[in-house]
């Protein structure tokens, strides 16, 4: 287990370092070969794209919170009476899971052979 964690950590560090190095090389090359107007336009476009990504992430998180609130309201019908704010629904813990006896059948082990 420790080996896996170590290699995942090493991979993450190398990936981040490689990404930063590549970004630095691209910037230096772009500054060397592009006229100032073109590089300014590229920088503006990159800034705009970053803002779009941030907005998309924020919208996705709010949609996720709304959906989670809907699901929590389904599980705990009294939740709508306690508070209608999405943050109220998200802050409440989920109820304990039900036993499998009355629910779905247990999953079969794919490695087990049929006879």
Tell me the average pLDDT across 16-36. 87
C-alpha distances in angstroms, 62 versus 18, 19, 87, 88, 107?
Answer: 32, 29, 10, 14, 34
Tell me the average pLDDT across 58-75. 91
Greater model confidence, 33 or 104 = 33
pLDDT in the model for residue 106: 58
pLDDT in tens, 67-87: 998 898 888 877 555 555 555
Q: Where are the domains of the chain?
A: 35-93
| 3-state SS assignment for residue 96 | coil
**What is the CB neighbour count within 10 angstroms for residue 79?**
16
Which of 23, 79, 80, 22 is CA-nearest to residue 46? 23
């Amino acid at each position: 287990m420790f080996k896996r964690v170590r290699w995942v950590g090493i991979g993450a560090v190398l990936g981040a370092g490689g990404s930063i190095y590549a970004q630095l090389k691209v910037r230096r090359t772009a500054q060397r070969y592009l006229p100032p107007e073109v590089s300014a336009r590229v920088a503006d476009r990159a800034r705009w794209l970053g803002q779009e990504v941030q907005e998309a992430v924020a919208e996705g998180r709010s949609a996720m919170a709304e959906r989670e609130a809907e699901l929590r309201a389904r599980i705990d019908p009294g939740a709508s009476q306690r508070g209608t704010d999405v943050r109220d629904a998200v802050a409440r813990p989920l109820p304990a899971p039900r036993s499998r006896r009355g629910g779905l059948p247990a999953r079969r082990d794919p490695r087990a052979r049929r006879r």
